[in-house]
Structure 1
């Protein structure tokens, strides 16, 4: 099963919140950065702007209780799709 990575923070997901066609967002929130899929990541520019705000605010986890063990921000950010970096 291919992974999908948040366009803002690089968190990995088993399914794309942009639907099977890659063009129909479900408008849920990223568990890490809190980006609304289909809004904060609708364009590369929007994703970069939201990422800059999130990082400037300390890059806190939106749902801290879901933090993976040994979470490494730099490793996760490296997973951001190239077009959205």
Structure 2
């Protein structure tokens, strides 16, 4: 099974919200950072800008009830896809 990672925060997903072709977003929301796939992460620059805002605001989980116990953003951020760092 292929794993897909959020372009903003690096959260792993079983399925790409950018569709099988990698170019057709479903406009769902990342459970961690709250990015709307296809909107705030459409370009590397927009993903970086959203990440900077999210981190500056404290890197709070968008859906806090889904936050893993002892979660650390520093362990997840390296999973951001190449080109979106």
Q: Give the TM interval when normalised to the shorter protein.
A: over 0.9
Quote the RMSD (CA, aligned, Å).
Answer: 0.6
Superposition deviation, residue 84 in structure 1: 0.1
> Which residue of structure 2 aligns with residue 27 of structure 1?
27
Structure 1's consecutive aligned runs of 4 or more residues displaced over 2 angstroms after TM superposition are none
Superposition deviation, residue 69 in structure 1: 2.9
CA-to-partner distance for each residue in 1:8-63, whole Å, 9 max, x for gaps?
A: 00000000000011100000000000000000110000000000000000000000
Does 2:58 align with 1:53? Answer: no
Unaligned runs of 5+ in 2: none
SS at match of 2:83: helix
SS at match of 1:84: coil
TM-score when normalising by structure 2: 0.97
Aligned positions, number: 85
Paired with 2:65 and 2:23, the residues of 1 have a C-alpha distance of 30
> Which residue of structure 1 aligns with residue 16 of structure 2?
16
> Which residue of structure 2 aligns with residue 62 of structure 1?
62
SS at match of 2:68: coil
Paired with 1:64 and 1:18, the residues of 2 have a C-alpha distance of 23
SS at match of 1:76: helix
